[in-house]
Amino acid sequence: ILNVEQSPQSLHVQEGDSTNFTCSFPSSNFYALHWYRWETAKSPEALFVMTLNGDEKKKGRISATLNTKEGYSYLYIKGSQPEDSATYLCAYWGTGSARQLTFGSGTQLTVLP
Partner 1 sequence: SQTIHQWPATLVQPVGSPLSLECTVEGTSNPNLYWYRQAAGRGLQLLFYSVGIGQISSEVPQNLSASRPQDRQFILSSKKLLLSDSGFYLCAWSGAGVEQFFGPGTRLTVL
Nearer to partner 1, 64 or 91 (CB): 91
Beta carbon of residue 15, minimum distance to partner 1 (angstroms, whole number): 27
With binding defined as CB under 8 A, does residue 75 bind partner 1? Answer: no
d(CA 29, CA 16): 38
Do the Cβ atoms of 38 and 88 come closer than 8 Å? yes
The residues with which 103 forms a beta bridge, in sequence order, are 91
Beta carbon of residue 42, minimum distance to partner 1 (angstroms, whole number): 7
Residues touching partner 1: how many (CB under 8 A)? 22
Q: Is 84 helix (H, G, I), strand (E, B) or coil?
A: helix
Compute the half-sphere exposure of residue 91: CA atoms within 13 Å on the CB side of its CA: 20
Question: Which residues inside 14-53 make contact with partner 1, applying CB under 8 A?
Answer: 31-32, 34, 41-44, 46, 49, 51
d(CA 109, CA 12): 6
d(CA 26, CA 20): 20
Nearer to partner 1, 92 or 111 (CB): 92
Nearer to partner 1, 13 or 49 (CB): 49
Interface positions with partner 1 (CB under 8 A)? 31-32, 34, 41-44, 46, 49, 51, 89, 91, 93, 98-106
